[in-house]
Amino acid sequence: MSIEIPIANPLIGDEEIKEVVDVLKSGFIAQGPKVKEFEEEFAKYIGTKYAIATSSGTTALHTALLAIGVTSGDEIITTPFSFAATGNSILFTGARPVFVDIDPKTFNIDPEKIEDAITDNTKAIMPVQLYGQSVDMDPIMEIAKDHNLKVVEDAAQAHGALYKEKKVGNLGDIACFSFYPTKNMTTSEGGIITTNNKELADIAQSIRAHGESKRYEHYILGYNFRMTDISAAIGIAQLNKLDTFNNKRIANAEFLNNNLKDIDGIVTPKLQDDSKHVYHQYTIKVEKGNRDDWIRFLNDNGVGTGIHYPIPIYKQELYQNLGYTDRLLESERAANTVISLPIHPSVTKDNLNKIINVLKEASDKFS
């Protein structure tokens, strides 16, 4: 059977199409006035003073790390249970990612394990707001303050998520979002940096455009990490729909939570206290049978799935070749037991009921 309920489905409507056509007709198709407008609206949405749009979430992370002064020999503490871009963006700067294990309940970096990983070379902590849920940030900010470290949020999956009434992306020194098509909102490819620090915002803007202070005057080494006005136009239309999209994801997730929690062998997502999860991914753990058999069964019955993520970053061949020998047990256990289920805004009640029924059958089948 083909996949009837895909794991992701970017929703592009007439609004996005109209915005893009307007840009194409305007003559400004690289970075121009639409990028500026998108940055202002995104900063307002997150509640930060500044936003700097980039070509991807990865280039946003790379730029943010450079902006806080990360350089060769520095160490950045982060989670191995994330997309490879989290670790790779650290490698781009010449610094070394230092991986700390996750809390198995939330899948996010375990704040209690961070302090042991701090050395004289530690420059920053980079928590990932995984699946759309904030890390417990208060202890992380406290550790950072005690040890004079910067905090860079990898908020690539958490547009609109809250931690204690504040939006994710407004919790550390600087934060990065991705607008890849599977994320909670898209610009096709794209990313953005948010911060309240004017100095960091200014440096990030320069790094994005060849280290320019003004046109054709270059004071540092930068890159071409610019977003185009075409992408920004999509982003403006998508940002208007973000809360609606997120509310649909949350409603879908709550329906699944209520109907999956009593199925034997399935562990439903745990919520962080005082926070709002926006369910970039709805990820369960299976605690009986073999995870890959569950996946095959779901796929054979038309239900799309994802594994976020099957290999901890330090176990990737690239990192093995760099000499990483970590064995972080919670991250490895999660990598072997997680399954992401379709939760995006176009998933219908019928789709959800089908997912639930297929999972009930799978639970009976596997032991």
Q: How far apart are CA 277 and CA 173, in angstroms?
A: 21
How many residues at the interface with ligand PLP, by CB under 6 A? Answer: 14
At closest approach, how far in Å is the CB of 23 from ligand PLP?
A: 20
Q: How far apart are CA 217 and CA 211, in angstroms?
A: 8
The answer to whether 296 touches 67, Cβ cutoff 8 Å, is: no
Contact residue for ligand PLP among 34, 57, 77, 256 (CB under 6 A): 57
String marking each residue 125-164 x if it binds ligand PLP according to CB under 6 A: ---x-------------------------x-xx-------
Cis amide prior to 309 (ω within 30 degrees)? yes
Contact residue for ligand PLP among 31, 58, 305, 351 (CB under 6 A): 58
Choose between 128 and 137: whose C-beta lies nearer to ligand PLP.
Answer: 128
Q: Which stretch binds ligand PLP (CB under 6 A): 2-10, 69-77, 78-86, 248-256?
A: 78-86
Q: Which stretch binds ligand PLP (CB under 6 A): 27-35, 77-85, 142-150, 163-171?
A: 77-85
Return the amino acid letter for 28.
F
Return the amino acid letter for 176.
C
Residue 185: name the closest of 251, 239, 132, 253 by CA.
239
Contact residue for ligand PLP among 56, 79, 122, 184 (CB under 6 A): 56
The answer to whether 141 touches 171, Cβ cutoff 8 Å, is: yes
Block residue for tokens 């991250």: 331
Is 225 a binder of ligand PLP (CB under 6 A)? no
Residue 259: name the closest of 134, 351, 346, 344 by CA.
351
- 54 DSSP β-pair partners: 191
DSSP E strand stretches across 55-121: 75-78, 96-99
Is 180 a binder of ligand PLP (CB under 6 A)? yes
Is 279 a binder of ligand PLP (CB under 6 A)? no
Q: Which stretch binds ligand PLP (CB under 6 A): 35-43, 83-91, 96-104, 345-353?
A: 83-91
Q: Which stretch binds ligand PLP (CB under 6 A): 82-90, 234-242, 311-319, 336-344?
A: 82-90
Is 334 a binder of ligand PLP (CB under 6 A)? no
Taking the CA atoms of 71, 75, 78 and 81 in sequence, report the sign of the dihedral they define: positive
Choose between 93 and 301: whose C-beta lies nearer to ligand PLP.
Answer: 93
